């Protein structure tokens, strides 16, 4: 059963916004605010406690609405073409900071260090749209006061549920209360103890009154049009609904607070049924929706991905047996596949946002597999697409490069939350395509050695492939640099995991510690741990019983050794060296120049062998005096 009682959490936002948005020329229109979109969806599913990013709509011209907004305590801006307004409710710290003088600032910060939640409201006045030549933006926008027309332009049914509250006059309240008392004597309301009984009632009448919540759910287009005629609430028509509405009860949480307000859920495209049945489908014809905005194809992959992760957490948190998870209806899935090529017309920064949301919060393995299934992989990740059907030596990998990359991605998302690490694992072997292609020729051992020592080695060919694909998707230079570093370093742990054993155990341990110390110095602690996680995922992603790839005990042992090293010594870098360039110049009477840097590097590499004994001026000068001579 959906949690309609959770919608009361939105009443505070509606009351706040009603006071902020005032229109003296037509107060009735601006008084009818409708929240819409994901905040309603997630509250009904009970997978969101406190939504802070809230979409709403109302009737009126954007410029006029924006002019009449009380902007105190808000950061506001408006887009010129589409008239979308963004209001950010400033936190306690932000809104009061300007009132504090410099002398009082420290005392004030100590007393108000815990800010209120920051809410973002995005207001899109009701409209109809026409002409989508670029498969993303409407060429023509028409303002309208028809809530049904506004609903027709939205993407998916589960995102097309509206919520509002209305305070009715005292006389109507008395009539409503007397009606409830009268009915309670004559007939018991239908219980809504199960989703099936609720849907049967809703499917039969297309509207329901849940008395315990004072909530009307309307799906009947005729009733919706009459209740909110020209967007203005028709209180007289409510009297009619009071007499004909099927009455129902609802199991309510103890936290629910009753109110004199009448609540309305407007659901013209039966999104409630799709929430209960866990179906993703478009509003209207899927081909039309995707041709209007091709980004919706990628959003269609992201929504169930993230929702299913939240549902799984919800079931686990409440010790419930996992029930249905979201999937697509047949028309939506087939249409996404037919229209996948339209994604080429979408601004790449918008695609990047969708990809990042999945890799940060959801299941990227599932997302990439679906991209491949609907023929989108070649548009978004072309270098990865080229790895399909490129076989590898069976003694190392029983699968082709693409399958191994996906399996490694599946493993890394279990142990590491960093989205850049996950993207690096996805691309860690893309350079093998060129390397293996060169192997097709009849090569001698010398030719193979030349390939492995040159740019065709997959460990060296990654930079251009990573840069090319992720630059196309508008990833920042820093993000690309981080992904590239992880890809280039993914074989680095082999230096200390597969090193030849030393004649003496102590000498072998000392050698490994030295290499770990160098690795920690160059990569940093967090990056070093991430590279070791990539090593684990790479091995686990082989699924090769011949290599016992699931045996990663030596890697976890190295993680422990790295933690001990970091706690005892920290990250030893050049700035921690006991001497500086000026010390060398003064000690050995040298002239400034590139030779100074070379001497410092030699001293640094030697000190790294044993920091406690070799990182002091006396030891360093003693070592360098023969080199300087």
Across 411-428, average pLDDT: 96
Residues 358 and 242 in one domain: no
How many angstroms separate the CA atoms of 215 and 164, rounded? 10
Distance, in Å, from the CA atom of 555 to the CA atom of 596, rounded to the nearest integer, reads 38
**If pLDDT is split at 50, 70 and 90, which confidence band does 413 have?**
very high
* Same domain for 237 and 116: yes
Which of 377, 401, 428 is the last residue before a domain boundary? 377
Out of 342, 377, 412, a domain closes at: 377
| 480 and 613 both lie in a single domain | no
- Is 459 found in the same domain as 341? no
Q: What is the CATH number of the domain that holds 487?
A: 1.10.3210
Phi, psi of 291 (to 5 degrees): -70, -30
Q: Residue 60 region, left (φ>0) first, then alpha (ψ -120 to 50), else beta?
A: left
Q: Are residues 389 and 445 in the same domain?
A: yes
Q: Give every CB contact of residue 564 below 8 A, 6+ residues apart in sequence.
A: none
pLDDT tens string 492-539: 888 877 655 545 555 557 778 888 988 999 899 999 999 999 999 998
Q: Mean per-residue pLDDT for 429-450?
A: 64
Residue 288 lies in a domain: no
Residues 567 and 587 in one domain: no
- Cα gap 74→66, rounded to integer Å: 12
pTM for the whole structure = 0.82
Answer yes or no: is pLDDT of 602 > 70: yes
At 218, is the secondary structure helix, strand, or coil? strand
Instruction: State whether 192 and 317 are in the same domain.
Output: no
Task: State the pLDDT at residue 268.
Answer: 96
- In a domain, residue 344? The reply is yes
Answer yes or no: do 160 and 53 share one domain: yes
Burial 233-272 (b: 16+ CB within 10 A, else e): beeeebeebbeebbbbebeeeeebeeeebbbbbbbbbbbb
* Same domain membership, residue 451 and residue 391: yes
Query: Any idea which of 190-194, 337-341, 354-358, 470-474 has the lowest mean pLDDT?
Result: 190-194
Kindly state whether residue 447 falls inside one of the protein's structural domains.
yes
Burial label, 338 (beta-carbon count in 10 A; 0-12, 13-18, 19+): middle
Average pLDDT, stretch 442-465? Answer: 58
Q: Count of domains in the chain?
A: 4
Assess if residue 51 is contained within a domain.
Answer: yes
- Where among 362, 377, 392 does a domain terminate? 377
Residues 578 and 485 in one domain: no
Burial state string for 559-591 with b = 16 or more CB within 10 A and e = fewer than 16: beebeebbeebeebeeeebbbeeebbeeeeeee
Give residue 111's pLDDT: 35
> Which range, 102-116, 253-267, 377-391, is most confident?
377-391
In a domain? residue 278: no
- Domain limits for position 157: 4-273
Instruction: Name the most confidently modeled range: 65-69, 137-141, 506-510.
Output: 65-69
Question: Do 611 and 490 share a structural domain?
Answer: no
Q: Tell me if 578 sits within 8 A of 616, measured CB to CB.
A: yes
Note the pLDDT of residue 452. Answer: 53
**DSSP secondary structure of 77-122:** EE-TTT--EEEEEPPHHHHHHTTS-GGGHHHHHHHS-SPPPPEEEE
**561: pLDDT strictly greater than 70:** yes
Position 25 scores a pLDDT of 47
Q: Is residue 290 situated within a structural domain?
A: no
Does residue 404 sit in the same domain as residue 325?
A: no
Say what percent of the chain tops pLDDT 90: 42
Q: Does residue 607 sit within a domain?
A: yes
Is 284 contained in some domain?
A: no
| Cβ 407 vs Cβ 541: under 8 Å | yes
Q: What is the DSSP letter of 575?
A: G
């Amino acid at each position: 059963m959906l949690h309609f009682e959770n919608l009361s959490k939105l009443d505070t936002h509606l009351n706040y916004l009603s006071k902020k948005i005032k229109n003296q020329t037509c107060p009735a229109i601006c008084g009818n605010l409708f929240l819409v979109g994901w905040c309603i969806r997630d509250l009904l599913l009970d997978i969101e406690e406190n939504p802070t990013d809230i979409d709403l709509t109302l009737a009126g011209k954007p410029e006029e609405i924006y002019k009449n907004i009380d902007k105190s305590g808000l950061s506001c801006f408006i887009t010129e073409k589409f008239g979308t307004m963004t209001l950010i409710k400033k936190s306690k710290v932000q809104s009061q900071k300007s009132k504090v003088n410099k002398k009082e600032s420290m005392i004030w910060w100590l007393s108000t260090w815990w800010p209120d939640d920051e809410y973002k409201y995005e207001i899109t006045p009701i409209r109809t749209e026409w002409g989508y030549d670029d498969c993303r933006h409407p060429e023509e926008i028409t303002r309208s006061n028809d809530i049904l027309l506004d609903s027709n332009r939205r993407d998916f049914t589960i995102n097309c549920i509206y919520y509002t509250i209305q305070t009715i006059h005292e006389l109507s309240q008395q009539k409503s209360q007397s009606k409830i008392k009268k009915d309670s004597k004559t007939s018991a309301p239908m219980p809504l103890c199960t989703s099936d009984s609720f849907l049967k009632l809703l499917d039969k009448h297309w509207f329901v009154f849940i008395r315990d919540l004072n909530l009307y759910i309307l799906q009947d287009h005729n009733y919706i049009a009459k209740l909110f005629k020209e967007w203005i609430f028709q209180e007289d028509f409510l009297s009619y609904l009071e007499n004909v509405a099927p009455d129902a009860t609802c199991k309510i949480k103890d936290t629910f607070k009753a109110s004199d307000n009448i609540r309305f859920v407007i659901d013209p495209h039966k999104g409630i049924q799709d929430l209960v049945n866990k179906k993703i489908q478009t509003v209207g014809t899927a081909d039309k929706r995707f041709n209007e905005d091709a980004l919706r194809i990628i959003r269609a992959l992201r929504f169930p991905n993230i929702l299913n992760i939240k549902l799984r957490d919800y079931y686990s948190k409440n010790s419930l047996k996992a029930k249905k998870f979201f999937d697509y209806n047949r028309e939506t899935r087939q249409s996404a596949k037919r229209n996948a090529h339209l994604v080429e017309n979408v601004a790449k920064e918008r695609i990047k946002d969708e990809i990042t949301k999945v890799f940060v919060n959801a299941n990227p393995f599932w997302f990439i597999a679906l991209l491949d299934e609907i023929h989108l992989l070649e548009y978004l990740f072309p270098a990865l697409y080229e790895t399909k059907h490129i076989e590898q030596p069976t003694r190392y990998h029983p699968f082709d490069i693409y399958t191994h990359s996906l399996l490694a991605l599946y493993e890394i998302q279990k142990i590491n939350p960093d989205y850049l690490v996950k993207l690096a694992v996805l691309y860690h072997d893309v350079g093998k395509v060129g390397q293996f292609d060169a192997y097709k020729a009849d090569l001698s051992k010398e030719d193979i050695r030349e390939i492995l020592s040159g740019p065709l080695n997959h460990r060296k060919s990654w930079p251009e492939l990573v840069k090319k694909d992720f630059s196309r998707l508008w990833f920042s230079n820093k993000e690309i640099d981080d992904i590239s570093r992880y890809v280039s370093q993914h074989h680095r742990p082999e230096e200390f995991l597969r090193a030849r054993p030393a004649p003496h155990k102590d000498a072998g341990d000392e050698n490994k510690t030295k290499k770990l110390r160098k690795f920690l110095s160059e990569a940093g602690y967090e990056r070093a741990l991430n590279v070791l996680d990539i090593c684990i995922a790479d091995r686990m992603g082989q699924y090769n019983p011949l290599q016992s790839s699931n045996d990663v005990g030596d890697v976890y042992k190295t993680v422990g050794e790295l933690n001990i090293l970091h706690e005892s010594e920290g990250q030893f870098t050049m700035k921690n060296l006991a001497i500086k360039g000026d010390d060398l110049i003064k000690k050995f009477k040298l002239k400034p120049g590139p030779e100074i840097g070379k001497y410092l590097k030699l001293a640094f590499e030697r000190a790294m062998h044993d920091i406690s004994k070799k990182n002091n001026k006396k030891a360093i000068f003693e070592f360098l005096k023969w080199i300087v001579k």
